[in-house]
Copies of this chain bind each other. A is one copy, B any other.
Amino acid sequence: MEGKGIDGKLDKSEQSCEEISHLSIDIGGTLIKIVYFSTNSKCSTSDEVPALSKERQEVPNGDLNHHILSGRLYFVKFETSKIEDCIKFLSSKKLQQCVITGAQCHHSHAVDKIKIKATGGGAFKFANLFKEKLGITLDKVEEMESLVTGANFLLKAVSHEAYTYIGGQKEYVQIDQKDLYPYLLVNIGSGVSMIKVDGDGKFQRVSGTSVGGGTFLGLGKLLTKCQSFDELLELSHQGNNRVIDMLVGDIYGGLDYSKIGLASTAIASSFGKAISENKELEDYKPEDIARSLLRMISNNIGQIAYLNALRFGLKRIFLGGFFIRDHAYTMDTISVAVDFWSKGEAKAMFLRHEGFLGALGAFMNYKDGNADFMAPQLVEQQPPKSSSCIVDRIHNSTRVHENENGAIDCRLRVSSSFKIYDEVKRL
């Protein structure tokens, strides 16, 4: 395992030892998410991770036009407002060395034909920047399609990917691939998209809300002066929303409003207590504000998700996007909201690689033979089921689970015509 954190901060020591073959990028309103495949996992000082073969292997089905590369999928993110960091990161990678010294590469394509798969609005907004700074063309993949492809991949290929969070307990869900569809995918980025997924490539964006992660951080920064999402989450952890939220009991003199099933502790009005008190912003603890805000947004998303699941008779709601971040209170609020409104009929499930659905989906879009630069496919060890993109889990599922940075060990089937730096170096 490399020393690189998920936030894209790098040690100098590791910059030289990484060989990236395939990389995709998802540029959202707040965050840039990158997924890349690297054959080099040995340069880490950690000896927790077993060596992975960098050698080509014959593909079991005897397809001589393809090789097998063993390696890992890595996940990195940057703030979109600090896109220069992302550019630097890409510059530091051998992928980039290949790209910017394109003449050294063994393929005959001009630099301007070098493409990486990209999704999210930033694939449009920053297309020129990537061209100018890196000579890379962003090969755009539609955002919803990417999210769905990424989610389907994770749900089918990675066990210990989806989990419920009930009563403080995280429980991994084993997904029966035959019974995966339909489901509701709720992707909570800056804003929220809700997508009904019926199969591979079969989906419809049915709803969404502008009250999402961007609202949490945006309002949170204005109200608490916090500078980061994680800082705000940490604050909320220590807060008490009852200080600011108007509860049913505050209106009903401490009583439940039992006739309509509202406990005295239910929130009647988010931030409603701030109305009547002669307090200013400075008089409230940032912790309490962060908590009220998190609960308001999480609950609202849970409710709208449930209403959409109900609309289409969907029992399972999978939540992705970088809002949740394994945060207990967020998951608890969303789970309780879905459970409350659906009277236990629907279940909220969270994804371990939540923030990388779009980037993973774009990665899967590298199709055999129709890309100038890359043409891999993920290969599975077991015979394919419904997906052509099944991860090959080398370690047992617990191992995958315990991998802190969420890296996924896998093998790629690579077209022989596909040129990567690793190959170039050997020539």
Contacts and interface: CB of A to CB of B under 8 A. Distances in A.
A215 B270 CA distance: 5
Contacts of A339: none
Interface string A245-278: 1101011111101011000000111111111110
Contacts of A222: 223, 271, 274, 280-281, 284, 289
Nearest to A128: B253
Interface string A211-234: 111110111011101000000000
Interface in A184-240: 189-191, 193, 205, 207, 209-215, 217-219, 221-223, 225
A251 B307 contact: no
Interface residues on A, range: 35 or more
Given A121-B253, A190-B246, A219-B219, A303 B269 contact: no
A125 interface: yes
A81 interface: yes
Contact of A272 (B218, B267, B284): B218
Interface in A88-134: 120-122, 124-127
Contact of A121 (B245, B252, B304): B252
Interface string A305-341: 0011011000000000000000000000000000001
A299 interface: yes
A125 B252 contact: yes
Contacts of A30: 269, 272, 275-276
A131 to B, nearest CB: 13
Contacts of A124: 252-253, 255
B28 A215 contact: no
A296 interface: yes
A244 interface: yes
Contacts of A182: none
Contacts of A28: 251
A287 B223 CA distance: 16
A8 interface: no
Contacts of A121: 248, 251-253, 255, 257, 268
A245 B219 CA distance: 10
Contact of A225 (B210, B268, B280, B299): B280
Nearest to A189: B269
A80 interface: yes
Nearest to A244: B218
A143 interface: yes
A254 B274 CA distance: 37
A349 to B, nearest CB: 21
With most chain B CB atoms within 10 A of its CB, the pick from A127, A260, A281 is A260
A303 B251 CA distance: 26
Interface string A36-65: 000000000000000000000000000000
Given A81-B277, A307-B308, 8 more contacts: A29-B246, A30-B272, A190-B251, A210-B245, A210-B269, A213-B269, A223-B223, A307-B307
